[in-house]
Structure 1
Amino acid sequence: MRKTRKFLRSLGMPQGDAAATSAKRFPDGAQYRVEIPSTEGPEVLEAVLDEAVRRDVVVHRVSQGSGAMLLTDGELRGMAVSAAGRSVELSLFARPLAGWDTGAMALAPGGGPVAAQARGTEQLVHVLEDVRRTAEAGIRSVLITDLGVLEVAAKMRAQGDLPPEMRFKISVQMGPANPVSVRIAEDLGADSYNVPTDLSAGQLASIRAVTDLRLDVYVESPDDMGGFVRHHEIAEIVRVAAPVYVKFGLRNAPNIYPGGTHLTSTAVALARERVRRAQIGLGLLDRYAPEAKASPLPADDLAVPRP
């Protein structure tokens, strides 16, 4: 193995997984921020913001999985206004993708990895149109799962077809889980990277060693992504992965994608519980690493909507 490890070192990559302390920080000097996912519409966003105030939890970013394509123009604008009013970043999924398409492989037992990919040129065009429509509503962050979408969207941003402050947040569904693969996403224009849900502290540290991307780490993941409850590891995750978004999904919860008004009451209840879980997790972080620093709001580098 020595030759291979030596070659990795020549590429500027770590030779192994060691849980080293990260000295990297957000621009304001903070180590961590909080993300609440599955915020599927205006009512759910309001529930997150309300519960955050009630529980004294600072939420820096909310994200959504159904895609801007399943929100009306009014709903997009309403979410942009609400998030902007609280200086919170709002990130919407860029869709459509293979998993909701008419292709069969994404539904086959071995076809899961293709579900998050854009199929053919027409679907590529429609995903990019979803990004464009999101930006036109004043929202400045989108979740991307496909490398081709990322590369073209980054070129659109560079050439002025998208706002220069547009952020590309890589979804957990993209999948790369090693330093070399994550570096590819960074080189293509990613701004933050949601790592797979089951990486150890050492594996997170090896990725952090080679990238300045903000890492997004589920400390509680949905059942269909493992169902891991890692609240007791938050202090270690912050130590090795900073700057990091600690992300509170929810185990033992129904999958509500794609969301809609028929699921609003369920989505609102789940959102409130996610904020409660954040309160619990952050309490453990304060217990075991009281020196860990979070960003206050507002934070200048957050991709807050500009409605």
Structure 2
Amino acid sequence: MTETVGLFRHTREELADYLRLAADEGITTVFSVGPRATYDTSPTRLTPHGSFLGYRLRGVDQIRRALDDVLRGLELGCRSFVVYDEGLLKTLGQARKGGLLPADTTFKASAHLGYANPISISMLEELGADSINPVRDLSLPAIAAVRQHIAVPLDVHTDNPPSSGGFIRTYEAPDIVRVARPVYLKTGNSVVGAHGQFTRAEDGERMADQASITLEVVQRFASEFTQSPAGAPAPVNAVSTRVAGEETAGCLR
């Protein structure tokens, strides 16, 4: 389960509660790094041109703040983070490799980075991403091409809010699994209006319903594939250390 509002938008007590609830249910929780362009003081991001900036960090101070946000999450027991900036990903990857971060810390590259071709996406893997979200509207052949160039799991959105297209690919989900596995099917965002919003309990119920529908369709049309069990370990630095056949939490393979 992925949180997208940002770590620094939640109190320590809230974060501890989220992690405790997830652990009780055997769910892997991935928290988003808080600092990003959309929270910064930049007027450019509000212009049409600003849409090209994504959530990238502006200046060294924002890199430092983003690193502190990750350290805050680690102190509370979080081990999985969504990363929105290539420089931050490189820094985190080097810190983990150098033993400055726990070895079981994992990083998920966000779709907000805007990567859409296999060569560019492979660079994210080299920087330390343990799973990667390409842009949300890639065709099946384009997704298949990405899979041929990387070893880490992909995150592929099967539905989206109106702010990023509003498309629902539920019936494509079985074929997405076929071409992208190991893959996380990102589902549930279509119940809200935009990305990175606070959600209500009823939103969570509708998201769970959408996930259930997606799983039903996959089981109906791609029953030969299996989902890794809840609580299975996420891969760390999969390029160099992942063992063939290793289970990845929540992945379809």
**TM, length-normalised to structure 2:** 0.89
The alpha-carbon deviation at position 289 of structure 1 amounts to 1.5
Given the alignment of the two structures, is residue 95 of structure 1 paired with residue 1 of structure 2, yes or no?
A: no
Matched, 1:72 2:11: yes
Unpaired runs of at least 5, structure 2? 235-247
Counterpart-to-counterpart distance in 1, 2:101 and 2:249: 14
CA contact under 8 A between 1:142 and 1:168: conserved in structure 2?
yes
1:168 paired residue number: 107
Equivalent AA in structure 2 for residue 64 of structure 1: E
- Deviation of 1:224 (Å): 1.1
* Number of residue pairs the alignment of both structures matches: 237
The aligned counterpart of 1:37 is: none
Displacement of 1:184: 0.5
Paired with 1:218 and 1:128, the residues of 2 have a C-alpha distance of: 27
Q: Which structure's relative contact order is higher, taking Cα pairs within 8 Å and 6+ residues apart?
A: 1
1:42 counterpart residue number:
none
Question: Does the 8 Å contact 1:223/1:252 carry over to 2?
Answer: no
Verify: 1:211 aligned to 2:150, yes or no: yes
Distance apart, 1:148 and its partner CA: 0.3
Q: Which of the two has higher C-alpha Rg? A: 1
Contact 2:188–2:208, Cα closer than 8 Å, also in 1: no
- Percentage identity across paired residues of the two chains: 34
What is the letter of the counterpart of residue 272 of structure 1? Answer: E
In the TM superposition, residue 258 of structure 1 has moved relative to its aligned partner by 4.7
User: Partner of 2:29: helix, strand, or coil?
Assistant: strand
User: Which TM-score applies when normalising by structure 1?
Assistant: 0.74
Deviations 1:117-145 (A, max 9, x none): 00001111101111111111100001001
Asked if 2 retains the 8 angstrom alpha-carbon contact of 1:169 and 1:194, the reply is yes
Structure 1 residue 283 corresponds to structure 2 residue 220: no
Alignment deviations for residues 217-242 of structure 1 (CA, whole Å, 9 cap, x no partner): 11011111111100010110000000
Answer yes or no: is the 8 Å Cα contact 1:154–1:188 preserved in 2.
Answer: yes
Cα distance in structure 2, aligned partners of 1:298 and 1:63: 15
Spell out structure 1 runs of 4+ moving beyond 4 A.
none
The 1:238–1:256 alpha-carbon spacing in structure 2 relative to 1, beyond 3 Å, is closer
Can you give the 5+ residue segments of structure 1 that lack an aligned partner in the other structure? 1-61, 260-265
Residue in 1 that maps onto 2:136: 197
| 1:150 corresponding residue in structure 2 | 89
**How many Å separate the matches in 1 of 2:220 and 2:63?**
46
Q: Secondary structure at the match of 1:221?
A: coil
Q: Is the 8 A contact 1:141 1:303 kept in 2?
A: no
CA contact (8 A) 1:191 1:214 kept: yes
Select which of 234, 237, 241 maps to 2:176.
237
Aligned to 1:7: none
